[in-house]
Structure formats: structure tokens, C-alpha cells
Homo-oligomer: A and B are copies of this chain.
Amino acid sequence: MSTAPSPAPSSRAGSGPAARTLADADTPFAVVDVHRARRNIARLRERADRLGVALRPHVKTAKSPDAALLHDGSPGPVTVSTLAEAEAFADAGHSDLTYAVGIEPHKLPRVIALARRGVTLRLLLDSTEQATFVAAAAREAGIALPTQIEIDCDGHRGGLEPDASGLTGIGRILHDAGCLDGVLTHAGESYFCRTAEEQREAARNERDAAVTAAGRLRAAGLPVATVSVGSTPTAHAADDLTGITELRAGNYVFFDLVMAGLGVCDLADLALSVVVTVIGHRPEYGWIVTDGGWMAMSRDRGTAVQAQDQGYGLVTDLSGALIPDLVMTAASQEHGTLTARNGAVLPELPIGTRLRVLPNHACATAAQHHGYHVIDGSRGTTAAPAVEAYWPRVTGW
């Protein structure tokens, strides 16, 4: 028995090497339509340009340097959710990263190691306690650790409220150590907005929280460079980002059924799907059984709280054409159950038939896979789309 982590005995990504088409690789496996991803990116890029803010993609959804390159063709500023992502994107040439999860002391050695490589890794915190140990670590290491103060705009997760009494004190501790970079907020509640107007209101509220906090710091004589906001719904709803310097979002590259349910995108924008194979039929129950269970889709049931519950996902044929009213309604570890709804007739799909399932939540479904088989939907519809590339994912922490 060894204490050193070693590679898993097998890490197949549902694929033999060099799958030519989606009919080749062993199911289940994840697919990305690069044409849709490019279109989704262009849409948000155009919005950010119009609103006069920088776009800092959150790579936590795709976790793929290849996917991030779709933005500009070269490694740009990104947001990361783990230090493993930070290290992998630094390895891929990205030099401006924001680690958007509150920092704790044990992670500082890896943070400092990245800083010493010349990578700008912006940290996040919301307490005097954290500011104190970040400032001490920066002084001890003799380097700046650019840090943002997390602002809570909607009671969703971490952060200080914009009018919190402790804000300027934290800003001062960071500034005195050369570490104050700015403020960051995330409208987590926007995922539960039901109308476009609610989303616009969430975007205004997110902006106001960040601008108010930045204003208080500046009024105290503390320079604020970065004023960062973002969530995929608010990024697509914002009508005025005056005072904001950058927009973060992640899900928009792939989109998913939750985003479609919020009206942020159409089903035709969903760039991520999972290829599964029919392995059985239970006509007495009205079921088609597939080899894609929750291990392939995740347990995420994000649409369960929306007006239209989409089960574990909607179903298309292998070409990507939606099969109306066919829904993945149940999952065990390696089995998916498809049923017809709205009185539709269950289609006849023999054993061995390949289908694609559009997920509730792209971040969670993508995380079940080691990588993506990449197709290009702009090449026209074919029964078995050609695989253009395989993109590995960053995993672990």
C-alpha cells in the first residue's frame, strides 16, 4: 500500500482512441457541438463589448483549455473554481486567473507557487480573518497576492453585504499589504428568476451591490481596480453595467435545460449532450432503457423547480434532432429510463440505437466525464456526426 496518489487503473472516457464518428466510441460519452459553443460565446462577447466590460469566462463548466480557446484563439483571462483548474490553465498558457472560491490558509502554498511562476491569481475572501492571513502570507513571500472582496448581492452564498461595516477594514488590511484588487459578486439567486424582467432586476441589483461596495472602498481612500459581476442569467439580462469592469459567466458556453427553462437560451443552443445506447424495453411500463444513468448525466435535477420539469434530460437522435416528448425520467447508476409524455407514442428504437440526452445542468453533467468528443454542427446534419477532436477535462481539486 502506497500513500502516493497514482493514476486510476482505467480512465477511459467512453471511447477507444480516434473515434471517427459518434457511432464509434463506446457509450455513454459526452459530446460538444463546437459550432453551438462558438455561437454562444460570440453572443456573450458581443453583449460584453456593447456593455463596455471585459469578459472573464468561468471555466468551471467546460474545464477544458481547448474550449476556453474558442473565445479568442489564445489564452485569455479566466475564472476558476479549483486550484487544479488554476494550475492546468496556467500550464496551458493562461496568466490571469481569478479563483472565485473563498481562500483558506492550507491552499496558500499552491497559490504562492503559481504567483512565483508569474501567474496573476486573484483570490477571494470576505472576512478580516482571511485578509489577515493573506496579507501575512504576501509579506512573508515578498510578493503581491491580488485579492478581491466578495460581496453578497442576494443572500445566496458567501460575501459581505455592500454596506457591511467590516468592508473598509478588510480593504485596508489588503491594501497595506499591496493585495487589494477589487470586489466581486455573483447573483446566485438569478437561477431562480422566473421572468426576463426579474433577471434584468437581478442584474441591476448585482451591479449596484458591486458598485456600492467599490464606492465605499474608494471613499475610504482604497484603490479598486476590479469590479466584477456575473452569472449566466444576469450576464444575458444586464442592460447597463456602468461602474463594472468585468463580467464573469461560465455556463453560457454549453447552456443547458435549466438555462433554456429560464429563457436565457433556446434548446437549439445547447452545445453539450451525452450519447447513450438503448439496452432494453419495458413496453408494459412504457419504458425504453439506456446505458446512460446518473453516472453519465449526474444526479442534477435542476429543472425540477422550473415550470417544465425535464426529468434527467430531453432526448435527440444521434444527429441532434429532438425526439418530441421523449424524456429521461429515471436514472440508476448505469441505467436511464426514457418515457413519452403528453400522450406521445413511444418511438420504436431497437437495442443498439444511439441517442443523445440534453442535460439539466451542463456543469454537473460535464463533471461526470473525462473529456468531450467534439463535433461541428455547422457541417450539416448527418446520422453519425464526425468527431473532430477529443478535449480532455481538468478534474479533481
Contacts and interface: CB of A to CB of B under 8 A. Distances in A.
B81 A389 contact: no
Contacts of A285: 155
Interface in A329-345: 332-335, 337
A9 B65 contact: yes
Interface in A5-37: 5-15, 17-20, 26-29
Given A82-B334, A294-B364, A395 B110 contact: no
Contacts of A301: 299
A315 interface: no
Contacts of A374: 1
A350 interface: yes
A51 interface: no
A378 interface: no
Nearest to A81: B334
A263 interface: no
A335 B157 contact: yes
Contacts of A277: 104, 106
B8 A393 contact: yes
Contact of A351 (B84, B129, B152, B352): B129
A57 to B, nearest CB: 15
Interface of A: 1-15, 17-20, 26-29, 60, 65-66, 81-85, 87-88, 91-92, 101-107, 110, 126-127, 129-130, 152, 155, 157-158, 188, 277-282, 285, 289, 291, 294-296, 298-301, 332-335, 337, 350-352, 363-364, 367-371, 374, 387-390, 392-397
B396 A5 contact: no
Given A11-B396, A127-B351, A5 B27 contact: no
Given A8-B371, A127-B351, 7 more contacts: A4-B17, A5-B12, A8-B392, A10-B91, A27-B106, A158-B289, A295-B367
Nearest to A350: B129
Given A155-B285, A279-B102, A291-B104, A5 B397 contact: no
Nearest to A23: B106
Given A2-B389, A3-B389, A289-B157, A279 B104 contact: yes
A337 B188 CA distance: 14
Contact of A10 (B28, B87, B299): B87
Contacts of A9: 65, 88, 91-92, 392, 394
Given A300-B299, A397-B26, A19 B7 contact: no
A103 B10 contact: no
16 contacts: A5-B370, A5-B390, A9-B65, A9-B392, A9-B394, A10-B88, A11-B11, A14-B396, A14-B397, A29-B397, A105-B351, A106-B352, A127-B280, A155-B285, A298-B299, A370-B395
A181 to B, nearest CB: 18
A109 B61 CA distance: 33
B126 A280 contact: yes
Contact of A390 (B6, B334, B388, B389): B6
Contacts of A4: 17-18, 390
Contacts of A105: 351-352
Contact of A8 (B279, B370, B387): B370
Contacts of A13: 5, 396-397
A100 to B, nearest CB: 9
Contacts of A335: 101, 157-158
A349 B61 CA distance: 31
Contact of A104 (B88, B92, B298, B352): B352
Contacts of A351: 102, 104-105, 127, 129-130
A169 to B, nearest CB: 16
